[in-house]
Structure 1
Amino acid sequence: MTLQLPTHNGTHPQKSTDSFTIPQQKERLENLLYQKVQQGEDISPCIEALHYLASKQTTQDQLQVMWAEVIKERSAFNSLQRVIITAFAILGMIAFLNGTFRSVKPSAAVVNPPAVQPH
């Protein structure tokens, strides 16, 4: 089905509605509906198209809400992942330094300082 929209030089078929936003499409359909009512023409195709656009808008709104939730969850997961990686890195550094300090034996000069002899 092709809708005829009025222009300055007559009518032309509506080829692609994707170039317009849904509110723009609804406005154009409402204008067409008003003109058809004034001319006494059948308005059922316009009504069906308006119902379709309304359901399409609802679907898009629902998808946007779902996408926002996915982004929030992904952000929370990424933050938690960074915290866990940082905690393991710190624990690894502590374990490494602990092992390093335990394996270093103090020198004999520090443990047994030379005795001071009175003159």
Structure 2
Amino acid sequence: MLSGVCGRLASALWGTHTQLSAVAQRYLHMLVSWPSTDKSERARKPPRAFDPALLEFLVCPLSKKLLRYEASTNELINEELGIAYPIIDGIPNMIPQAARMTHQNKKQEEMEQH
């Protein structure tokens, strides 16, 4: 969407009679030819994979403990708290509100209630 707006702006500026520097002309040309990133184009691209090397640096924002990557669900798991952070297009969503409770934690809660 943004690239479409920039392209229209660049086209409008290109058509004006003002003097543009060579740098400005190259920049405007780049904006006009910038590939669009609409939803249909993003849908055609395969999703980016999560890089497990990031596990060395990522910790749970709540407990500050290391996380485990679960490839089958494409999530980062905090075993201690029993929560899983989703990975969307190769990018972990580390917002606690986006995390889901794992089955392990649900089983513990059920055992404590009985």
Q: Normalized per residue, which structure has more helix? A: 1
Q: Normalized per residue, which structure has more strand? A: 2
Q: Which structure would you say has the larger RCO, counting Cα contacts within 8 Å and 6 or more residues apart?
A: 2
**Same fold per superposition (TM over 0.5):** no
